[in-house]
Structure 1
Amino acid sequence: MEATASGHFLFETALGVVGIAWTPRGITRLQLPGRDPADTERLLTAVRNGFPRPECTADARVRLERLLPPTIAAAVALLRRYALGEPVALAAIPVDLPYVSEFRRAVYRAARRIGHGEVLTYGELAERAGHAGAFRETGTAMGANPVPLLVPCHRVLAAGRKPGGFSAPGGVATKLRLLALEGIRLEAADPAQASFGF
């Protein structure tokens, strides 16, 4: 990714308004649609885990799409195509997650290799990440994922192909919608599962 200024941007997709934030090294945060565009921006720019996010400050917002750095504009175009149901290679979009632990970095790398229309369980993902048996910790990592879609946490299921939880706005209903967009149909979640963040 070329050296560009940091910033954040909200854009319309077939799923609703999505927000992204970036540094010169890659996307640092992706926010799935909230209740409305203002909610999406609030969620995108909220301080999480105490980490500094200068790319999310009010003065870092890019308001005109034509002013986006070329690599960010290309990422926006791919995300719009994904929202229309196209099987695009979102794993090609660089991410920058400097405050993520090495365990989560390994889990996120393994998750990025789950292809469009494929699913794994938390246990299978833990094993692929080199941490066999760490399914709970893997679920927690998915629940804290700062870049959903780019790290496709919606493709990670609980044991028995149950949806598990989903921490994005809309919860499990959003997870099921994303999976359906990729041609995967699951039964609705048990209401007790919907409250979990993984």
Structure 2
Amino acid sequence: MSNFRFAIFDSAIGRCGVVWGERGISAVQLPMGSEDKTRGRILQRYGDIAEAAPPAEVQGAIDGMAELLSGKPNDLKDVVLDLAEVPEFHRGVYDIARTIPPGKTMTYGDIAKRLGGVELSRDVGQALGRNPCPIVVPCHRVLAAGDKPGGFSANGGVVTKLKMLEIEGAVVNYTPSLFD
């Protein structure tokens, strides 16, 4: 990954990170509680890559993500991703997730049906749990059956997912119970 670079940027939910290479953005890191922890997670996952000023197209993506996280409806559809290292099934899940507009949601089952059958719901959830580009691939907009939040592997878990949905104006009729 020697030709990859990364940058840390401000957002309404904290300091995020972005990793890019020649073919586009290959990762987005949600805040880890502090800038140092966010930077550390990027280096842990991607090795000894250099921090650098983002080129224009990456800066455009950063600006779009910051806008979205501040409540402006930006669908980020023009952001070029490099998902060459991602399994084909996962790319299919991510392509569908990217069609969900800000403020709207789908379920794991909805995506699974579009990929061949509701029995793929668990596979859809696993693919979203490994999403290398949260925000751009809006895995936070995908809910479990009954509009329950389902999982969220980012720092803060489901609380972060619900916060991101709230910022976007999505209506999630969910009250946590002891049995969730």
Classify 1:137/1:192 alpha carbon distance in 2 versus 1 (closer, same or farther; 3 Å). farther
Cα shift at 1:131: 4.7
Deviations 1:55-105 (A, max 9, x none): x524x111xxxx421101111111111111000121220111122111111
Q: What is the TM-score of this pair, normalised by structure 2?
A: 0.91
Identical pairs, percent: 39
Q: For 2:113, which of 127, 131, 134 is the aligned residue?
A: 127
Runs (4 or more) in structure 1 with deviation over 3 Å come to 129-132, 188-193
The match for 1:163 is: 149
The equivalences for 1:49-60 within 5 A come to 53=46, 57-58=48-49, 60=50
**Partner letter of residue 24 of structure 2?**
G
Q: What is the TM-score of this pair, normalised by structure 1?
A: 0.83
Q: For 2:77, which of 72, 88, 91 is the aligned residue?
A: 91
Partner SS, residue 133 of structure 2: coil
The match for 1:50 is: none
Q: 1:112·1:150 contact (CA, 8 Å) conserved in 2?
A: yes
Q: 1:91·1:151 contact (CA, 8 Å) conserved in 2?
A: no
The match for 2:168 is: 182
In structure 1, distance between residues paired with 2:16 and 2:142: 21
In structure 2, distance between residues paired with 1:70 and 1:150: 17
The match for 2:51 is: 61
> Which structure 1 segments of 5+ residues have no match?
48-52, 194-198
Classify 1:117/1:160 alpha carbon distance in 2 versus 1 (closer, same or farther; 3 Å). same
Cα shift at 1:15: 1.3
The match for 1:74 is: 60
- How large is the Cα RMSD of the aligned pairs? 1.7
Partner SS, residue 59 of structure 2: helix
Matched, 1:172 2:155: no
Matched, 1:9 2:4: no
Q: 1:145·1:151 contact (CA, 8 Å) conserved in 2?
A: yes
